[in-house]
Structure 1
Amino acid sequence: MLAPAVLALALAAPGARAQLDALEARRRAEETAVRMLAQQERSVLDTLAESETALAEAVAGWRQAEAARAAAAASLERARQDEAAAQARMQARLAALRPRLEARARLGRTGELQILLASRSLADLVKRRYLMDRILSRDLALLGEAQAAKQDRERARAARQHEAVRLATLAEEATERREQAAARREERETLLAALRSARGFHERAAAEASQQSRKLAEFVATLPPARAGAAPSGFATHRGRLPLPAAGTISVGFGKVVNPKFNTITVQNGVDIAAPAGAPVRAIAPGRVVHAGWFKGYGNIVIVDHGDGYHTLVAHLASMQTAMGEDVEAGAVLGTVGDSGSLKGPYLYFEIRERGRPVDPAQWLSAAR
């Protein structure tokens, strides 16, 4: 064990504290992942879904706290501007009032009386009295405006001080929320690493994914048929000429897939498209959205009915920008590429089904031919 003095020197090195904090966070994440997966009867996909939910809630809390912090910062800036404006008004009124008061002080009461006594006539006396009253009224008005500006300044100063305290509190909360989100993200990444590196976890995940694939097929079969009397869509005529739903390349094809690390075989009813996270996912042809929501093992999915018994499905979306029942045109944005429900990180999973039966998308996409 390091002596306290040596440990103190180590922690004093630049970046040492941050590295130790990162290692501690990873250690906690690994312990959490092992604990979550240690129960052999527990569903791997359910565990992943819970991890994703915790991450989403932490990120949402962070964004909410950050929005509140930004609003408080804007309020603080407005309070500062209000205080500066009130200070400027007060100084301007005092600057205008100062020479007038100094002149009045030099005159004194005797000086004012002399001005009145120097009148050449009664009309001149009345005029001089009127002008002196006007001067006095103007001076009093300037004084009142200066006092009002001072009160405005004090109110703005109090508001600024209040907003400064509130901003500091919200900034601290935003930092805590950000750290919580980072911890949840670390836990999820560690969980995924365990699934990828341990054969037992990998095989369990593959078996559950196969089961969910069958459930997805059953779900698609229950989708409502095309509207009665709807004209043929002509979807089949576009075979070999359809665009990719997202800019990228097909990384894993349709059918049997062999895992190079564990030599396990899984069957894909669609294709994996390597596309950057956040990239728009578009409808490849006109149709109607018949499902937009979460599906275990696939994350956020959108299913579009193109008529004539054809459906397309996009999965693992980061966000969905459409809703069930919405009619969409070719090229309409359905969502964005993400990693919801994914065991592989961000990518897009894509299926084409003909009367419920999965078909190889590569035979339909122009980019794959």
Structure 2
Amino acid sequence: MVPAAPIALALSLSLAAGGPRAQLDALDARRRAEEAAARMLAQQERSVLDTLAESEAALAEAAAEARRAEAARAGAEAALAQAREEEAAAHARLQARLAELRPRLAARERLGRTGELQVLLSSRSLADLVKRRWLMERILSRDVALLAEADAARDARERARAARQLEAGRLAALAKEAAERRQDAAALREERETLLAALRTARGFHERAAAEAVVQQRRLAEFVATLPPPRSGGALPEGFAARRGRLPLPVTGHVTVGFGKVVNPRFNTVTVQNGLDIDAPAGAPVRAVAAGRVVHAGWFKGYGNIVIVDHGDGFHTLVAHLASMRTAMGEDVAAGAVLGTVGDTGSLKGPYLYFELREKGRPVDPRPWLAP
């Protein structure tokens, strides 16, 4: 049996020499590096559309806060204008009371107490004395009332002035907050544009975005298939198929990407387009191509804000990437009714309109349906 002391001594000398200890440290460092690399890879593999959706949600919240702050600022500005009017009215009432009171007080000062007695003593009869006394009491009563009214008007003016100063301070604070919220929204908008620029120039991101687009197309098709049939009452217009070749574009613009297979010239990736990309300025009105009923109006991953209209005969149209929606689910819309405005929600390409036509849930090329 080997003595314990020599073994312990040998182990101690081995560790001191850096053998096993150095190997353990190296393995630990390698493990930490691999874990860091795995975390970085997971971040890089993160969904492009999820990243974009989070950016859009933050931007939408910042824009909503900016609108709320601007509305509060506008309300404070209106309140300040009203406070100024009330202060001016109170000042005018005070000046009117003082204008009536000044000559009366001056006359009373000139008359004095002895003058009042002389007026009474110069009465020609008892009836005249009673009448003069009554008149003097009326004058005195009016003077007292005018003094009270002047005091009240002065107090009202001071209150109005204080209210005006308070509203002015509130307006300044709200104006500052509104400016800060606008700056926040602008910063997030710039951050989103930076993200989109990176997505457009990175092959890996582009390939993942293309793959995710296929998934979202399938999800959209499944979603359209689950849409409820039209409600009874207020029947949808018949004969949509007869409109082939006569439909207008839903927005004033021109088609940049058509229906079917699309090859990216930079990355040579192939995607299938189920609709049309229409170049149109941000904020332009998007209209219903025909009468129908809105069966969906909301956000959809990969498409942003979308509106789907049921035109009867198994036909639906869809418009996507809207900045705003001007309709709601269940609403009957006429041909040409505004459904929303052009935007870039869910878009990797900036503002444009995506337009689909579906027959019995299946996407069809809209171009033969459009008016020449």
Relative to structure 1, is the Cα distance of residues 302 and 118 closer, same or farther in structure 2, using a 3 angstrom cutoff? Answer: same
Of 104, 109, 112, 2:108 maps to 104
- Alignment partner of 1:183 is 2:190: no
> Could you tell me which residue of structure 2 aligns to residue 161 of structure 1?
165
Relative to structure 1, is the Cα distance of residues 71 and 306 closer, same or farther in structure 2, using a 3 angstrom cutoff? Answer: same
Residue identity in the other structure for 2:363: P
Structure-to-structure mapping, 1:1-369, within 5 angstroms: 39-226=43-230, 233-366=238-371, 369=372
Task: Return the alpha-carbon distance in structure 1 between the equivalents of residues 124 and 269 of structure 2.
Answer: 118
Residue identity in the other structure for 1:174: A
Contact 1:310 1:355 in 2 (8 A): yes
Cα deviation for residue 224 of structure 1 reads 2.7
What does the per-residue CA deviation read over 1:308-359, in whole Å, with 9 as the maximum and x for residues that have no partner?
Answer: 2211111111111222222222222211111111111111100111112211
Query: 324-333 or 350-359, which moves further after superposition?
Result: 324-333
Relative to structure 1, is the Cα distance of residues 37 and 61 closer, same or farther in structure 2, using a 3 angstrom cutoff? Answer: farther
Cα deviation for residue 100 of structure 1 reads 1.0
Task: Return the alpha-carbon distance in structure 2 between the equivalents of residues 322 and 172 of structure 1.
Answer: 34
Residue identity in the other structure for 2:272: V
Contact 2:296 2:308 in 1 (8 A): yes
TM, length-normalised to structure 1: 0.86
> Secondary structure of 2:44's match?
coil
Cα deviation for residue 263 of structure 1 reads 2.6
Greater Rg by CA: 2
Cα deviation for residue 165 of structure 1 reads 2.0
Task: Return the alpha-carbon distance in structure 2 between the equivalents of residues 343 and 260 of structure 1.
Answer: 16
What does the per-residue CA deviation read over 1:124-150, in whole Å, with 9 as the maximum and x for residues that have no partner?
Answer: 111111111111122112111111101
Cα deviation for residue 195 of structure 1 reads 0.8
Contact 1:226 1:308 in 2 (8 A): no
Contact 2:237 2:291 in 1 (8 A): no
What does the per-residue CA deviation read over 1:43-97, in whole Å, with 9 as the maximum and x for residues that have no partner?
Answer: 1001100000000000111111111111112112211221121112112211211
TM, length-normalised to structure 2: 0.85
> Could you tell me which residue of structure 2 aligns to residue 28 of structure 1?
none
What is the CA RMSD across the aligned residues, in angstroms?
2.0
Residue identity in the other structure for 2:223: F
Contact 1:240 1:363 in 2 (8 A): yes
Residue identity in the other structure for 1:138: R
Contact 1:37 1:47 in 2 (8 A): no
Task: Return the alpha-carbon distance in structure 2 between the equivalents of residues 37 and 51 of structure 1.
Answer: 20
Deviant stretches of 4+, over 3 Å:
35-38, 225-232
Task: Return the alpha-carbon distance in structure 1 between the equivalents of residues 154 and 61 of structure 2.
Answer: 46
Relative to structure 1, is the Cα distance of residues 228 and 118 closer, same or farther in structure 2, using a 3 angstrom cutoff? Answer: closer
Taking only the aligned residue pairs, the percentage that are identical comes to: 80
Task: Return the alpha-carbon distance in structure 2 between the equivalents of residues 96 and 149 of structure 1.
Answer: 13
> Secondary structure of 1:223's match?
coil
Q: How many matched pairs?
A: 333
Query: 252-261 or 352-361, which moves further after superposition?
Result: 252-261
Cα deviation for residue 244 of structure 1 reads 1.1
Cα deviation for residue 259 of structure 1 reads 2.0
> Secondary structure of 1:39's match?
helix
Contact 2:236 2:311 in 1 (8 A): no
